[in-house]
């Protein structure tokens, strides 16, 4: 099943309710990009905004952490009511432990890789993941162009998920538009 998860980075932050309503009525998930200015050069928004969206959302919250030490914040996102929590594979020394911790809280656990990391680096962790986010632009800024090699990476990842007999959803993040969504 295909789901659409608009990034709230594109929202009008002076009129958040309007964009939350649009996602509630027309999309499947709220995609929340959290940037710390360390793991990526940019800073996005933090807990007050996530809590405000959580309070008005009728669709699940899909949080994508672009931060160092993501394991520090797992319980806090769980308390806010986040449904899906993902972090970058190279943002922590202990990805397996962090994935297990996320699942223990009842959230769905996900790993993310940038376009320059081989898809194969994910393979040892797939059984601990509910979803994988393949970046189709480099994480950290909105509005970039979709990288075409992503299609092959999706195929490779899907084949390995099937080979391992797993149910892991694949999320494609960045430059997705009506022109390429199909
Ligand atoms: Zn994202």
Question: Residue 102 maps to which CATH number?
Answer: 3.20.20.70
104 inside domain: yes
Q: What sign for the dihedral angle of Cα 60, 66, 69, 72?
A: negative
pLDDT at 150: 97
pLDDT at 1: 83
- pLDDT truncated to tens, each residue of the chain (182 aa)? 899 999 999 999 999 999 999 999 999 999 999 999 999 999 999 999 999 999 999 999 999 999 999 999 999 999 999 999 999 999 999 999 999 999 999 999 999 999 999 999 999 999 999 999 999 999 887 778 999 999 999 999 999 999 999 999 999 999 999 999 88
- 8 A C-beta contact, residue 157 and residue 121: no
Question: CA neighbours within 13 Å on the CB side: how many for 170?
Answer: 20
Beta carbons within 8 Å of 48's beta carbon, 6+ residues apart? none
Catalytic entry in 36, 62, 130, 173: 173
Total domains in the fold of the chain = 1
3 inside domain: no
14 inside domain: yes
- 8 A C-beta contact, residue 69 and residue 91: yes
75 inside domain: yes
Residue 86 Cα, ligand 1 centroid: separation in angstroms? 9
179 inside domain: no
Residues spanned by the domain of 36: 8-173
Residue 175 Cα, ligand 1 centroid: separation in angstroms? 11
Residue 164 Cα, ligand 1 centroid: separation in angstroms? 26
95 inside domain: yes
126 inside domain: yes
Catalytic entry in 33, 36, 62, 130: 33
Residue 70 Cα, ligand 1 centroid: separation in angstroms? 14
pLDDT at 17: 97
Q: Is 28 a catalytic site residue?
A: no
Count of residues in the chain: 182
Residue 65 Cα, ligand 1 centroid: separation in angstroms? 8
DSSP 68-115: SSGGGGHHHHHHHT-SEEEEEGGG-S-HHHHHHHHHHTT-EEEEEE-T
Q: Which residues pair with 106 in a beta bridge?
A: none
Cα separation of 109 and 101, whole Å?
A: 9
- 8 A C-beta contact, residue 38 and residue 67: yes
* DSSP structure class, residue 179: T
182 inside domain: no
pLDDT at 141: 75
- 8 A C-beta contact, residue 107 and residue 82: yes
Q: Is 62 a catalytic site residue?
A: no
pTM for this entry: 0.96
């Amino acid at each position: 099943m295909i789901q659409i998860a608009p990034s709230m980075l594109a929202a009008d932050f002076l009129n958040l309710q309007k964009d939350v309503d649009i996602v509630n009525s027309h999309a499947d998930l709220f995609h929340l990009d959290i940037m710390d200015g360390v793991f990526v050069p940019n800073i996005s928004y933090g807990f007050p905004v996530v809590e405000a969206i959580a309070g008005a959302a009728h669709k699940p919250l899909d949080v994508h952490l672009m931060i160092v030490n993501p394991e520090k914040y797992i319980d806090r996102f769980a308390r806010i009511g986040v449904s899906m929590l993902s972090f970058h594979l190279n943002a922590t020394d202990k990805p397996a432990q962090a994935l297990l911790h996320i699942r223990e809280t009842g959230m769905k656990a996900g790993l993310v890789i940038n376009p320059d990391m081989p898809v194969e680096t994910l393979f040892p962790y797939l059984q601990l993941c509910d979803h994988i986010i393949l970046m189709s632009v480099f994480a950290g800024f909105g509005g970039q162009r979709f990288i075409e090699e992503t299609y092959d990476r999706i195929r490779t990842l899907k084949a390995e998920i099937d080979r391992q007999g797993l149910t892991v959803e694949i999320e494609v993040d960045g430059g997705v538009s009506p022109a390429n969504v199909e």
